[in-house]
Amino acid sequence: MNNQQKTILYIKSKIDAFNAKERHFKQLNLLFDNLIFCQNEDDLLLHLPNTTTLITWLFKPHWYEIATNLKDIYTPAAGDDWIAKNDRIKIHHGHFQGKIMAESLLAMMLWHSRNLALLQQAQSKKQFARDLLSNTNRLGNAHHFILGYGAIGRACAKLLKAMGATITGIKRSCRNNQLDNNADFIIHPNQLDKHLHKADSLICILPSGDETKHIITKKHFTMMKSSAYLYNIGRGNCYQESNLIWALQNKQIAGAGLDVFEQEPLSQSNKLWDMSNVFIMPHTSAVNKYYLDDYIQELAINAK
């Protein structure tokens, strides 16, 4: 970048792992000329009129009125929930989260498949209960459906496929499954009704939006095996939570692992909290202390 261009770094978050540290500023200073580290919103708005490039978690719609020289917004977020869209500005999202989110998914799946809650209870009672796992399953023997088979979905598939699992990827833009080394089958969402009865788990990794809202219906839960599990590490709008609770209460499915919800934070009165067959993560499937370090590695390539 030439000396007339200015780059702003505004990476502030209540989540410590998402909050820029001094080491991140040093790393980014090697990538961008005239880098300014804004500590608060007022500081950002002061510099925004002369900024060409912005690295941020957040951009409000009315900020575009003063951002007359802005050309690019880079954000560590995978989703577009916090960056207002604008036809004039290129918005570059992070695409590096798949590996850590796959690990979080695996943790939830192992919690169910290996009966880790029962083992923890036995440990608390000092019981050497070797028979607790006699009726458990192995993830590698199962057929996993991944609804939202993008970059994150493929990272999850790769991890599960390494165990020997069968993978069906579900996406709107279908392609020859021979082009994907981890999915055994690729189907369109409108084929889900036909194949869902085969799934041992349905893994949702969908973005928010009108196209994905309540795409999983009450009818879909009745189509699933009673031994199947639902996992959601995408967004909480893809089904009505009341339908999921109904399915769990009526044993239409065996359990769930949930990282996202219709309303966040999850209300203390929500029935999901008290269900022994539900593993809850507080929208943290991508959170780890190296989140921004991984993002900067990706940004170093994209910014060129």
CA-nearest of 149, 262, 245 to 206 is 149
Selection from 215, 246, 237 nearest residue 145 by Cα: 215
Measured over the CA atoms of residue 15, residue 21, residue 27 and residue 29, the dihedral's sign is positive
Strand, helix or coil at 164?
A: coil
CA 2 to chain centre: 36
Grouping H, G, I as helix, E, B as strand and the rest as coil, residue 134 is: coil
Structure tokens at 24: 């991140």
The Cα 201–Cα 151 span in angstroms is 19
Q: b or e along 29-56 (b: 16 or more beta carbons within 10 Å of the residue's beta carbon)? A: eeebebbbbbeeeeebeeebebbbbbbb
Is there a catalytic annotation at residue 283?
Answer: yes
Active site residue 264: yes
Given 172, 188, 211, 264, which residue is catalytic?
264
Name the active-site residue from 112, 144, 220, 235.
235
Per the CB < 8 A criterion, the answer to whether 233 and 101 are in contact is yes
Rounded CA-CA distance 248/282 in Å is 19
Q: Select which of 47, 241, 283, 298 is catalytic.
A: 283
Q: Rounded CA gap, 181 and 276, in Å?
A: 36
Catalytic residues: 235, 264, 283
